Structure formats: structure tokens, C-alpha cells
Amino acid sequence: MGGVLEVVLKRLAEFMEKAQKIKGKVVAAMFYPAAVITVAIGIMAILMIFVVPKFREIFDGIGMPLHPFTQFVLRTSEIIKDHSLATFLSLVGVFILFKLFISTRFGRKLFDRFKLKMPILGPVITKVAISRFTRTFGTLVSSGVPILQSLTIVKETSGNVIVGEAVAAVHESVKEGETITAPLEASKVFPPMVISMVDVGEQTGALPEMLMKIADNYDDEVDNAVAAMTSLLEPIMIVFLAVIVGSIVIALFLPLIQLMDSGFGDKNA
């Protein structure tokens, strides 16, 4: 309609490339912890189904009282081994219930708020949401789309209910002739720097350029946050795996240590 189709298509292509780049980096950062968790679950299953029951036979033959932690591990192993199908179905049921819960408006809102506040991943998700909001909004406005229509599109493509509600509040504010910044500040999602830059852009008439600068800045911050998160998650996952496997091993060797101590005690006596 504005006779600038080539420019708009180029902006759209750049927007899609940057959005895909951010998504790829976040997915790549999640690959390592997902692989470690999968390995941990596999190791736990092997230990609980095949290794721990062998130790139960040994402990039953000894006939000595077991440490409460050892009893807990043996009981857990018994439940997993004898009720493996029920355990698997229970996990599937919990997953299905969770999916049904977040499919509701209340559940989705609660989960999206948790994603923004959760440790380690929360800041990254927040930065991605801000980058997506500013780049989409800036691309639409700079391409000649009316601001109210742009806000409606941004709301539908925000990918987060909390961010979407903030954009809806901005839409109502602009519709009433008010500013963009007040609803953004009230949402508690956008940091002061973003709000100040949007305010400056709105007052100077350079809102699209300011939004794109914010998006470029947050793209860089997402890169740094993903790199920091990856470097932090690796040792955390290794420690997590070591604690899980180590706890099972300690539980199995506690009775043997007690037996050795009692044997040495009897010998000394």
C-alpha cells in the first residue's frame, strides 16, 4: 500500500532471521542439560531395577538392621521394579495433567509468570521476550503499519501471556491517547532502561529506530546470557548426576560399613 514492498520484505526477512537465530541459540543451550538429565534417568533406572535388588538379597542374608536412608533406597527400588508400568503411567499422567493445566488461561498465565521469574533460565527468557517484542513492534511501525494494529499483532505473537497482557495495556493506553511507557512500567516485565528508551523514542518521534536499537542490544544480551547459562549449567548438571548416583552408592554401602564396624568391634572385644 505504501509503495515500499521491497523495503518491508527485507525488514521482514531480517526479523525472521534474527528471531530464528535467537531460538536456535536457546535450543542449543538446552541440549546439554537435556542430554545429562536423560543419561541420569537411564543410570538411575539401571541401578534401581538391576543393581539395588542384588544388594537387597545380600542385606536379607545378613539380617542386620538397615540405615533409614538405605531402607528408603531399597523401598524406592522395589516400587520402581515391581510397579514399573504404573510408575511410567503415573509420570505420563502427571505430564498430561500439566499440559492440560497450562492449556487453561489461568495455568498458562501462572506458568508464563514462573518462566520469567525462574532462576538461571528466567533472565534469558525475559531478554528473549523483550527482544521479540521490540523487534516485532519496531518492524511493524517502521513498515507503515498503524500503531494500534501493530500492537494487536505484537500481542498475538508475544509468545508469553504476561508480555501479551502488558502489550494489551499499551494498546488501551494508546487508544485513549495516553503514552506507551506507563503500561510498560506497570507490567514489571520491562526494565527501566527499555522504558526510558521507549519514552525517548516516543517523545522525539523516533520510536521505530529506538525499538530496533533496543532489540539489537537485547540480542547481544541474549547471546551473553546463553553463553553464561551454558557455562553455569554444565557443572550444575555434572554435580546433579554425581549426587544422584553417589547417594544410591552411599545408601548401598552404609550397611557394609556398619557390618565392618561391628566385625571390628567384635574382634577387638
What is 119-159 written as a DSSP string?
TTHHHHHHHHHHHHHHHHHHHHHHTT--HHHHHHHHHHT-S
Q: Say how far apart CA 133 and CA 212 lie, in whole Å.
A: 10
Tell which residue, 161, 111, 154, 113, has the closest CA to residue 131: 154
The pTM is what?
0.67
State how far the Cα of 126 lies from the Cα of 189, in Å rounded to an integer.
8
* 81/234 Cα distance (integer angstroms): 31
The C-alpha atoms of residue 42 and residue 190 are separated, in whole angstroms, by 41
Residues of the chain predicted below pLDDT 50? 264-265, 267-269
pLDDT at 268: 47
| Grid coordinates belonging to 32 | 546439554
Comparing CA positions, the residue from 61, 76, 162, 56 lying closest to residue 118 is 162
